[in-house]
Amino acid sequence: MIAGACAPQKDNNIRSNQVLTEGWKFTKGNPGGAQATTFNDNGWQEVTVPHDWAIYGPFDKKWDIQNVAIEQNGETVPTEKTGRTGALPHIGDGWYRKTFTVADFDENKTALLVFEGAMSEPEVYLNGEKIGEWAYGYAYFYFDISDKLLKDKENTLAVHLSNKEFASRWYPGAGLYRNVNVVVKNKQSFDQWGIFVTTPTITAEKATVNIKAASSAKGGINMLTEILDADGKIVASSWQAVGANGAFEDNITVPLPKLWSPETPYLYKAVTKLFDGKIGIDEVTTRFGIREIKYTAENGFTLNGKVTKFKGVCLHHDLGPLGAAVNVAAMRRQMEILKDLGCNAIRSSHNMPSFEQLELADEMGFLFLAESFDEWAKPKVENGYHRFFDEYAEKDVVNLVRATRNHPSIVMWSSGNEVPDQYGAEGLVRAKFLQDVFHREDPTRPVTVGMDQVKQTMQSGFGALLDIPGLNYRVHLYEDAHKAFPQGFILGSETASTVSSRGIYKFPVVQEKEKQYDDLQCSSYDLEACSWSNVPDEDFVLQDDKPWVIGEFVWTGFDYLGEPTPYDNFWPSRSSYFGICDMAGLPKDRYYLYRSRWNTDEATLHILPHWNWQGREGQVTPVFVYTSYDSAELFINGKSQGIQKKNNSTPQHRYRLMWNDVKYEPGEVKVVAFDKNGKPVAEEKIQTAGAPYKIVLEADRTKLTADGNDMSFVTVSVVDENGLPCPTATNRLNFAVNGAGSYRAACNGDATSLEVFHSPSMELFSGKLVVLVQSGKDKGDITLKVTGSGLKDAELKLQSL
């Protein structure tokens, strides 16, 4: 151990990170070809990054017509598909240009240009010279620009992106949709993503924090590591001298550790500092959690010694009306909704997650399955990742792991999803190759693959090879897979794919697959699924009855752009129906079915359908109740419809209360829930509403940060004269924002709507929509006014602070 060194001064500019957010210029197409690096950009659009050029539309089926057979869905004959990638203009070329200066750069410094995601196939130019390229639109990557950067002069950065047709199975977004950074540091410094923090031993009295650091340091350089608790207090510190090849390793004891978990997401910081004598030459702060994960045949998955099942959802990377462009406020809102649901885990599907999403998962307490690829060497789509696999797969996995491995939320990696390589001996070679790369870069976490060809993987050894066998659907094969695979447990890596449209109900109420209707909607009785999938209750049975099933990741938490199953062949339909919540983030009925089982801290009592059925008087209109209680009594206009109790006769009866013979009559529906002793403990009611009368606004947040990026999501609905919600209202509403903010977008959750999100007008869908209000950079009041013909206006005050 080495003593006597002092901390670096705070103002010595040993490392800087410049986020290139503002001042970008963008143009669609390819003006001047390669000359676009120096092309006159006077007519280009001014944008901020992160940016998605395609989300502004318009929606049109011409953008992504595909004549294909989707093998994952069991199709053998090609048919015309519209909306498969969101029916937005993402295909084609785009150019971004920005000028910037770096004041603290000289010959003793190293400069890196870091991209967190660029869709796709980026070619990067600095001062007119090409400095590099990458392939995968979801990858993080960087270039050393030390010999190209001009000191104290204006540098011109140009990025060419190309989105090919038939390159994705969903909406991929377009552009520089994640951050771009310039990192300047000393020549002798930590490598990019070169620090790895783990917690190999934990007891109630102490925890060992292991620090491994890769650097360009030479002899005579020392590393000081300080461990800070959540209040910023130093709780442990240690010195180490540089090792071979610039490597450092240290084990530091933290007394009385506070453990990270979804219930208590406690975070520490490791501040690692390099010294040349007494002079500080580099410093990196790494946030981490102290936690222990294990996977065993005996107990499945344990976190900090406690058996824990994954109550997870799959999420695509798009943020609905914001497209693929990263926005922290939007992701935080999604995750707050998931917290109330009782969800404890997220799978990034089928892409590498954003840094911001992982930071939120650490802070808010979500277990995370970080996924890498949807395609290996065998193609799913004509211009997919298979074109790059041999050259880039290892590089992409290395960057994924090194960039994100310090997040305590990540508890497993996924090397692929439903890859066609599940067939054939070469598939086993690729699976082992990728798993070995993950293990080499991170020996502390296991690797899975989402497998849909379960019989094949049982026979070939593909499933036996994996650390964690992940089954996508195939509930009827769980028992066989458990017997065939040696791991002793199964993960539901993708489950349900139940489809529904918020507030839409179809009669008669029947359980069906691939059900289609003339209005291109799906019923919210939650009994409709895809040909390959099932309704939630069938997964619940496996989760509850089979201790060797370690949890599930539902497809999906929120609706997303593209993949409009079961309406791939119909127009207009441009987004998914899979979500537990719709694309606006509004809960569907199914939200409460999952909540009744997942949220063990709060009671759930929810009635469906709505009770506005003019013309259905006297007709059978079943009433379902999703509840955490075991029994309840239903009343229609005060008349009892009987008591229902959950039972094991069918999966649906086990998890839902259903009154299938109720006949519609306008008025009041009330449900009274009973505890296990038969005592009434809660009630809920809905009523038939009159004509829409006034607009009601409800914001998720009323205080915003004046940073130009923060957002408030305002739920807009209409009620009748008595204040009752109007669940069938489709009024057109108009939005105006004044003051220290701006109107950003609106979304009504209708998968068939062709209204562009950024227009300040939209029709309600099932009585609701959501307006996004964005803060400016000036502090002050923001006013949102919503109007609609024949309706009483509404106004909402927000603050930008």
Say whether pLDDT at 785 is over 60.
Answer: yes
Residue 602 burial (10 A CB sphere; 0-12, 13-18, 19+): exposed
Whether the Cβ atoms of residue 320 and residue 559 lie closer than 8 Å to each other: yes
Give the chain's radius of gyration (CA, Å).
27
**What's the average model confidence in pLDDT over 150-178?**
95
Selected catalytic residue, list 121, 371, 418, 563: 418
pLDDT tens column, 363-408: 999 999 999 999 999 999 999 999 999 999 999 999 999 999 999 9
pLDDT for 323: 98
- Name the pLDDT band for 534 (thresholds 50, 70, 90): very high
DSSP letter, residue 119: B
Q: Is 755 a catalytic residue?
A: no
Residue whose C-alpha is closest to residue 351's, from 116, 50, 64, 591: 116
591-621: pLDDT as tens digits: 999 999 999 999 999 999 999 999 999 999 9
Active site residue 298: no
Domains and CATH numbers, the chain: 15-54+90-186 (2.60.120.260), 190-288 (2.60.40.10), 293-497+532-578 (3.20.20.80), 605-609+613-687 (2.60.40.10), 694-800 (2.60.40.10)
- Kindly state the DSSP code that residue 728 receives in the 8-state scheme: T
Give how far Cα 126 sits from Cα of 50, 159, 631, Å. Answer: 19, 9, 67
For the segment 535-542, the average pLDDT, to the nearest whole number, is 98
Residues whose CB is less than 8 angstroms from the CB of residue 87 and which lie 6 or more positions away in sequence, other chains included: 59, 60, 61, 63, 64, 572, 574
State the Cα–Cα distance between residues 784 and 793, nearest whole angstrom.
Answer: 11
Q: What is the pLDDT of residues 634-685, one digit of tens each?
A: 999 999 999 999 999 999 999 999 999 999 999 999 999 999 999 999 999 9
Structure tokens given for 49: 């990054």
638: tokens are 């005060």
Share of the chain above pLDDT 70, in %: 97
Go through the chain and tell me how many residues it has.
Answer: 801
- Mean per-residue pLDDT over the chain, rounded: 95
Strand, coil or helix: 404: helix
708-733 mean pLDDT: 98
Give the pLDDT mean for 517-535: 97
With 50 as the cut, is the pLDDT of residue 410 above it?
yes
Confidence of residue 103 (pLDDT cuts 50, 70, 90): confident
pLDDT of 38 strictly over 60: yes
Over residues 274-294, mean pLDDT: 97
- Does the pLDDT at position 734 exceed 90? yes
Contact 315, 556 (CB under 8 A): yes
Question: Quick one: pLDDT at residue 219?
Answer: 87
Q: Give the CA count within 13 Å in the CB-facing half-sphere of 623.
A: 31
Q: What single-letter amino acid sits at 675?
A: D
Rounded to whole angstroms, the Cα distance separating 782 from 300 reads 50
Give the mean model confidence (pLDDT) for residues 466-489: 97
Cα 713 to the chain's mean position, in Å? 17
pTM exceeds 0.95 for this model? yes
- Select which of 283, 375, 441, 494 is catalytic: 494
Going by pLDDT thresholds of 50, 70 and 90, the confidence category of residue 70 is confident
Q: Which tens digit of pLDDT belongs to each residue from 204-243? A: 999 999 999 999 998 899 999 999 999 999 999 999 999 8
Which amino acid belongs to residue 506? Answer: K
| In the chain, % of residues over pLDDT 90 | 93
> Residue 5: pLDDT above 50?
no
75 pLDDT exceeds 80?
Answer: no
Q: CA 282, CA 223: separation in Å to the nearest integer?
A: 9
